[in-house]
Amino acid sequence: MTKISNNIFFIMLILSTLITISSNSWLGAWMGLEINLLSFIPLMNDNKKNLLTSESSLKYFLIQAFASSILLFGIITLMLFFNMNWLMNYKFNEILILSALFLKSGAAPFHFWFPEVMEGLSWINGLILMTWQKIAPLMLISYNIMFYFFSIIIVFSMVIGALNGLNQVSIRKLMAFSSINHLGWMILSMLNQTLLWTYFMFYSFLSISIIFMFNNFKLFYFNQIYNIPLMNPMLKLFIFLNLLSLGGLPPFLGFLPKWLVIQNLIMTNQYFLLTISVFMALVTLFFYLRISYSMFMLNYQKNSWLMKTTFFNKISSINLIMNFISIFGLMIVSMIYLII
């Protein structure tokens, strides 16, 4: 019965996002967001073994309900001022609506709830929160582009997402701050709708690739990767390369969307945002490299009397293909392009 109910709530989660992005009114979009919230809460509470799950679901519900109330207030006042021709308050209401949507998506400086909620979730629910739950707010945000307000959110998201990842020992919190940093890149690419969803698709693919590995091997903290004797060197190598791909290091696939965004920024002469984004991308690469260096060089234990488990027996073929594409995808695309 639990599986059936989970499937029903998951279908509702998908349909509510589709309702939001296909709505032709703000109230219809708000209703889709509310259905989305109420269908995700039961999925968050699925894991009874984790004591932090209930706390995370309560935090998520309170924050999302608060953001929804601000959004509804902004929509009602926007409609009221628009009908009464009080256009001087129009920009204020747009900022109010956008702030509520940024709070829902977890963009800085409205990010305070996101790492704490991620810490209490299972990997699959965390993946949904990092990817699918961002689709509806990002689509609504892209309807009202305010360049200067967006620039503040972009700088905050990139700086906070990069700097707060430096001192993390929890993989889930690290992925949360990485998601905040990538959200800054998505907002940065919002002037071009095609570029926005291209970046989102690449980010989702890379996140699925690495989080499936973390889920298969039940990895939640970095000391598990450092100290477990049964940890296969091949697994360490794949995690290392996938982290670098997620950070956007060439020649891995994760560099391609950032390359497109950088090219777009150069064409539109946004050199300040370009400088901030490149510097913060280097900071994220720094803590990925530091973690990977420690993973390979420090505290490596190998006991011959323990039963050996091979990497290829533990990982699924689909995940293996995704890892291969994540690591070698850009090189393959470049070779095809050169041949053609």
Alpha-carbon span 35 to 14, nearest angstrom: 10
Q: Which residue has the higher pLDDT, 62 or 216?
A: 62
Determine contact, residues 156/109, Cβ cutoff 8 Å: yes
Q: What are the tens digits of pLDDT across the range 136-188?
A: 999 999 988 888 899 999 999 999 999 998 888 899 999 999 999 999 999 99
Give per-residue pLDDT as tens, 248-277: 888 889 999 999 999 999 998 889 999 999
Confidence of residue 296 (pLDDT cuts 50, 70, 90): low
Share of the chain above pLDDT 70, in %: 86
Q: What is the pLDDT of residue 34?
A: 94
Three-class secondary structure assignment of the chain: CHHHHHHHHHHHHHHHHHHHHHCCCHHHHHHHHHHHHHHHHHHHCCCCCCCHHHHHHHHHHHHHHHHHHHHHHHHHHHHHHHHCCCHHHHHHHHHHHHHHHHHHHCCCCCCCCHHHHHHCCCHHHHHHHHCHHHHHHHHHHCCCCCHHHHHHHHHHHHHHHHHCCCCCCEHHHHHHHHHHHHHHHHHHCCCCHHHHHHHHHHHHHHHHHHHHHHHHCCCCEHHHHHHCCCCCHHHHHHHHHHHHHHHCCCCCCCHHHHHHHHHHHHHCCCHHHHHHHHHHHHHHHHHHHHHHHHHHHCCCCCCCCCCCCCHHHHCCHHHHHHHHHHHHHHHHHHHHHHHC
> Would you say 326 and 254 are in contact if contact means Cβ atoms under 8 Å apart?
yes
Residue 339 pLDDT > 90, yes or no?
A: no
Burial of 187 (0-12, 13-18, 19+ CB in 10 A): buried
User: How far is Cα 117 from Cα 230, in angstroms, rounded to an integer?
Assistant: 30
pLDDT (mean) for 287-296:
76
Question: Could you tell me the pLDDT band of residue 333, with boundaries at 50, 70 and 90?
Answer: confident
Say how many Å lie between the first and final Cα of the chain, rounded: 53
Per-residue model confidence (pLDDT) at position 205:
93
Q: What's the average model confidence in pLDDT over 307-321?
A: 63
Q: What is the mean pLDDT of the chain?
A: 85
What pLDDT sits at residue 195?
92
Q: Which amino acid is at 51?
A: L
The four Cα atoms 61, 62, 63, 65 give a dihedral, to 10 degrees, of 80
Average pLDDT over residues 214-222: 85
Using a pLDDT cut of 90, give the percent of the chain over it: 48
Instruction: Please state the rounded mean pLDDT for residues 287-315.
Output: 61
pLDDT tier at 307 (50, 70, 90 boundaries)?
very low
pLDDT value at residue 132: 94
Q: What is the pLDDT of residues 77-124, one digit of tens each?
A: 887 776 665 555 667 888 899 999 999 999 989 999 999 999 989 899
- Res. 243: pLDDT tops 90: no
Sequence-separated (6 or more) residues with CB below 8 Å from residue 127 = 207, 208, 211
pLDDT band for 1, please (50, 70, 90 cuts): very low
269 backbone φψ class: left, alpha, beta (φ>0; ψ -120 to 50): left
For residue 48, what pLDDT band results from cuts at 50, 70 and 90?
Answer: low
Q: Which span out of 48-57, 62-71, 226-235, 284-293 was modeled with the highest average pLDDT?
A: 62-71
